[in-house]
Structure 1
């Protein structure tokens, strides 16, 4: 299975939506864990990279780096 490529500052869509109703997240930190921020309410979540890659649906907007 091919790994999905994403970068810092990308806006991504996850498989499940956030309770606030939006499904778009901005990647704000990368490492062993990925920190992402909800574009709707601003809530920040830290999840392991493997879990993030499994739950990632698609990249909505690339940061252009």
Structure 2
């Protein structure tokens, strides 16, 4: 799965705040994600993050880093 920094992901399970959308802040062996509902950040191993992705909503290709 090709996920890059700046992408917005929809995960299968809801965060306790009710949002399913997460922004990708870091990609590598671990993913750092920020909840778009409440701003909570977490790190997930790549394997777990890729299993829990339902779809990529917005691609971060147009952004300059």
Normalised by the length of structure 1, the TM-score is: 0.90
Point out where structure 2 has 5 or more consecutive residues left out of the alignment. none
Counterpart of 1:38 (choices 35, 50, 54) is 35
2:21 to 11, 20, 24: 24
Alignment of 1:44-59 (within 5 A): 44-59=41-56
RMSD: 0.8
Runs of 4+ residues over 3 Å off in structure 1: none
1:62 correspondence with 2:59: yes
Aligned length: 62
Partner deviation per Cα, 1:33-57 (whole Å, 9 max, x = no partner): 0000000100001010000001111
Counterparts of 2:28 and 2:8 in 1: how far apart (Å)? 17
Unaligned stretches of 5+ residues in structure 1: none
